[in-house]
Chain A
Amino acid sequence: MATRQVPGDPSDAITVVSLGKRFDLRHERPTTITQELLGLLRPRLTEPFWAVQDVTMSVPRGGAMGVIGRNGSGKSTLLKMLAGTLAPTTGTLVVRGSLSTLLQLGAGFHPDFTGRNNVWLSAALLGIPEARMRAGFDDLVGFAELEQFIDIPIKYYSAGMLARLGFAVSISVDAEILLIDEVLGVGDLAFQRKCEARMREMMSGGRTIVIVSHDAHAVRSLCDTAVWLDRGHVRAAGPADEVVDAYEASSLGEGPGTVSRVRAADVDGDGLPDDPEDA
C-alpha cells in the first residue's frame, strides 16, 4: 500500500474535521445468541443517535485546549475518539504524537490489587518501558504522595488518593499529547495546584494538552483555546476566556437577576440550569 497523505496541518498535534460518532441504539438488543438467531426473522429496530456530530477543530503542538459543555454533550465521546479507544463513525481524525490519557477516575485500576501492582499494569497499558518505570517509580509515588499506601489494595483509597495516583501515572508517560477527562477537580487544592503547575511545565516543554472539565476556572487558567459542545455539536470555539464566558452566560441565563431563578430551576443538581426537556 502506498503511504497515505496525512490530512491537516502538520504543525497541529490534533486535527479533527467533521468528526461524528453515531451510536445505534437498538430498542431491544438481543442479549443472548438464542434471541439473536430468533431475531434474524424479524426486522431490527435501531435508532441512530449522534453523540458527536460535525465537530471540526485543531490543537496546535504545545497548545492546551479545554472542552466544556453540559452532561451528555459528547465531551467524553470526543475524548475517547482522540484517545483511540472509540472508533469514529465518520470524519477525519489525525493525532500526531504519542499519547497519554487519563480518562476518568482510577483509569484502568483494579480495586483488589495494590497501588504498586496497579501502577505497573497501567504502565504496561500505557506502553511505558519497564526500565523507565523502574527508574521513575519512586518519583511517581512521591508525586502522588502515597508512599505509605502504595502496598495496600486500592479499594481502600479515597477518591482523592485514586485521582492522585491516576494523574501521577498519566504524566509519568512523558507523551507528547495528554488527554484528561474530568479528573482535575477531585484532589485537594494543594494537589490541584501541583497538577496545574506540572501541566504548565509540560506545555512549556512543547506538550499538547486536551482537558475535559466542568471546572471553568481550570479551563480559563490552563487553556489557550476551548470548545463548547452542545448536544454533540460545536456551539462555540476560540480563545478559552471567551468560550467559557459564553458558556457561563448561557448556563446562567441572560441578563442580571437571573441567577436565583436558575438556582431554583436546578433540580438535577449539576450546578447548571435544567434543560426544558429534562423536566
Chain B
Amino acid sequence: MTVPPPTVVFTHRKSAWEHRHLLFALAGRDIRARYRQSFLGVYWAVLNPLLQTLVFWLVFSRFLRMSAGTVPFVVLYFSGVIFWNFFTTAITGAMGSVATQMYLLEKHRFPAVILPLASVLARGMDLTVSAGIFGLLLAWYAMPVPVTALVIVPLLVIGLAATIGISLLTAALNTLYRDVAQLVGLAFTLGFFLTPVVYDTEAVPAGYRTWLLLNPVATVIHGVRIALFRGELPSLADTWPGALASVVLLAIGWIAFRQLQSTFTEVL
C-alpha cells in the first residue's frame, strides 16, 4: 500500500547558519565537561600524546632500534601522534553525538548535523593545546620553523574533511546499530599501522607509499613533516590521493547522514 508523499511547509524554519551559535554552545559544553576535571582535560591534550610518544620511543627506537633519520625521535613521533589523536578522538566523540543527544533532537527542531560537528570542533581545542606543546618541543630542540610550515593550513583542511566525513557516517549508523563503536575501534587499531605515526614515510618503499598516502591522515602527517623538518613543500603527487580520498569520505558521510537523519527520532 503506497501513500502520497507528505507536503510540509514551515515558513519560519531557521537555517543551519542561523543555528551557528548552537554549534559553539555545544562544543563549549563538551570542552567544559572534559576540562572541568582539570586533570582529565590536561590528560587528553598534554599527557596523553606525551605518554604515547614516550612509549613509542621506548619500543621503536630502544627495543627495535629503528632510525628516525636526522629528526629527534620525540619530535618525529609527536608530530604524528597529535594528528592521529585528533582524528581518532574526534571521530569517537562524534560517533556517539547523535545517539546520546537524542533528547535534544526529539524536542527541538535544529539541523542534526550540528551535533557531530560540535564534537569535532570540541576536539579542535585539544589539537590546539597539543600543537602548543609541539611548539615547545621544537623550541627545546632548537628546531626553527620554516615558512613552508604554512602548508599545514591546507593539509588540515584535508584532514578535517576526512574526519568530518567519517564522523557523519558513524554518527548516523550509530543511531541504528550497536556495533559501530566496535567496528570503528577495530579500524583504528589497524589504521594506526597504516598511518606514519611511529615511522617515517621515507622508510616506506615507493610502490607502497602511493597506497599509504591514500590515507588522508597519512597525507597530513607526511606533508607536515616535510614542511617542518625539511623546509620543503610536499609534492602534489604525494598530496592529491589523500585529498581525493577526503573529498570522497566527506561526500559519503554527508549523503549517509542526510539519508538517515529523518529516522533519527523514530528509532526506539
**A and B: bona fide binding partners:** yes
Please give the residue numbers on chain A whose beta carbons come within 8 Å of chain B beta carbons, in ascending order: 4, 6-7, 19-20, 22-23, 29-34, 36, 48, 80, 83-99, 101, 103-104, 107-108, 110, 112-113, 117, 120-122, 124-127, 130, 176
Identity of the chain B residue whose Cβ is nearest the Cβ of A109 in the assembled complex? B103
What is the chain B residue whose CB lies nearest that of A30?
Answer: B177
Q: A113-B29, A130-B21 are in contact. Are A32 and B179 (CB under 8 A)?
A: yes
- Please state if A124 and B21 are interface contacts (CB–CB under 8 Å): yes
Mark out the residues of chain B between 90 and 107 whose CB falls within 8 Å of any chain A CB in the assembled complex.
103-107
* Cβ of B69 under 8 Å from chain A: no
* Residue of A22, A29, A125 contacting most chain B CB atoms (<10 Å): A125
Chain A residues with CB under 8 Å of B103's CB are 108
* B205 interfacial contact with A, CB 8 Å: no
Chain B, Cβ-Cβ closest to A106: B103
Q: A19 → chain B, closest Cβ, in Å?
A: 8
- Asked whether B259 is an interface residue with its Cβ less than 8 Å from the other chain, the reply is no
**A85:B29 contact, CB within 8 angstroms:** no
Q: How far is the CA of A92 from the CA of B108 in the complex (A)?
A: 21
Instruction: Kindly specify which of B4-12, B49-57, B146-154, B249-257 makes contact with the partner chain.
Output: B4-12
A125 touches B8 (CB 8 A): no
Assuming the A-B contacts A88-B6, A92-B6, are A124 and B22 also in contact, with contact meaning beta carbons closer than 8 angstroms in the complex? yes
> Which B residues are within 8 Å of any A CB, using their own CB?
1, 3-14, 18-19, 21-22, 25-26, 29, 33, 103-110, 173, 176-180, 183, 262, 265-267
Given A31-B177, A85-B108, A104-B107, answer yes or no on A112-B33 (Cβ-Cβ < 8 Å): yes
Q: Name which of B1, B109, B173, B267 has the most chain A CB atoms within 10 A of its CB.
A: B109
Q: Which residues of A contact B173 (CB under 8 A)?
A: 33
Contact in complex: A7, B9 (CB < 8 Å): yes
Measured CB to CB, the closest approach of chain A to B41, in angstroms, equals 16
B5 adjacent to A85 (CB under 8 Å):
no
Task: Verify A99–B7 contact, CB threshold 8 A.
Answer: no
A87 contacts B109, CB within 8 Å? Answer: no
Q: Which of A19, A20, A85, A124 contacts B25 (CB 8 A)?
A: A124
How far is B33's CA from A96's CA once the two chains are assembled, in angstroms?
38
Contacts of A104 in B (CB 8 A): 107
Known: A31-B177, A94-B11, A95-B9. 8 other contacts (CB 8 A): A6-B11, A31-B178, A83-B107, A85-B107, A95-B11, A121-B29, A124-B19, A125-B104
- Is B177 in contact with A80, judged by CB distance below 8 angstroms? no
What's the nearest-Cβ distance from chain B to residue A195, in Å? Answer: 18
Most chain A CB within a 10 A radius of its CB, from B8, B18, B33, B176: B8
Which single residue of chain A is at the shortest CB-CB distance from B1? Answer: A48
Closest chain B residue to A76, Cβ basis: B106
User: B9 and A121: CB pair below 8 A?
Assistant: no
CB distance from A177 to the nearest CB of B (A): 9
Q: In the complex, how many angstroms separate the beta carbon of A245 from the nearest chain B beta carbon? A: 32
Are B5's CB and A90's CB within 8 A? yes
Contacts A96-B11, A117-B29 given; does A127 touch B3 at CB 8 Å: no
A101 CA / B105 CA spacing, docked (Å):
12
Of chain A, the residue at the smallest CB distance from B267 is A29
Judge whether A108 and B107 touch: CB under 8 Å. yes
Choose from B4, B25, B265 the contact partner of A90 (Cβ within 8 Å): B4
> A20 to B6, alpha carbons, bound, how many Å?
9
With a cutoff of 8 Å between Cβ atoms, the chain A residues found around residue B108 in the complex are: 85, 101, 107-108, 122, 125-126
Q: Please, which residues of chain A bring their CB within 8 A of the CB of B176?
A: 31, 36
Residues of chain B within 8 A (CB-CB) of A110 are: 29
Closest to B183 in A: A33
A86 cross-chain contacts in B, Cβ below 8 A: 265-266
| A130–B110 alpha-carbon span in the complex (Å) | 17
Docked CA distance A127–B19 (Å): 6
Which residue of chain B has the shortest Cβ distance to A113 in the bound complex? B29
Q: Cβ of B7 and Cβ of A92 under 8 Å apart?
A: yes
On whether A84 and B29 interact (CB within 8 A), knowing A20-B3, A33-B173, A108-B104, the answer reads no
B173 nearest CB neighbor, chain A only: A33
Cα separation A88 to B262 with both chains bound (whole Å): 10
Q: State the CA gap A130–B22 with chains docked (Å).
A: 10
Given contacts A113-B29, A124-B22, A125-B110, is CB(A84)–CB(B3) below 8 Å? no
Tell me which residues across on chain B come within 8 A of A126, comparing CB atoms.
108
A83 and B109 within 8 A (CB): yes
Measured CA separation A23–B1 after assembly (Å): 14
Residues of A within 8 A of B6 (CB): 19, 87-93
- Nearest CB in chain B to that of A102: its residue: B107
A103 to B266, alpha carbons, bound, how many Å? 16
Closest CB pairs A-B (n = 5):
A84-B109, A32-B179, A90-B3, A124-B25, A124-B22
Residue contacts A-B, CB under 8 angstroms, 10 given: A33-B183, A85-B108, A86-B266, A93-B7, A94-B11, A96-B11, A108-B103, A108-B107, A113-B29, A121-B26
Question: Which of A85, A98, A121 is B12 in contact with, Cβ under 8 Å?
Answer: A98
Closest CB in chain B relative to A170 CB, distance in Å: 10
Q: Which residues of B contact A120 (CB under 8 A)?
A: 25
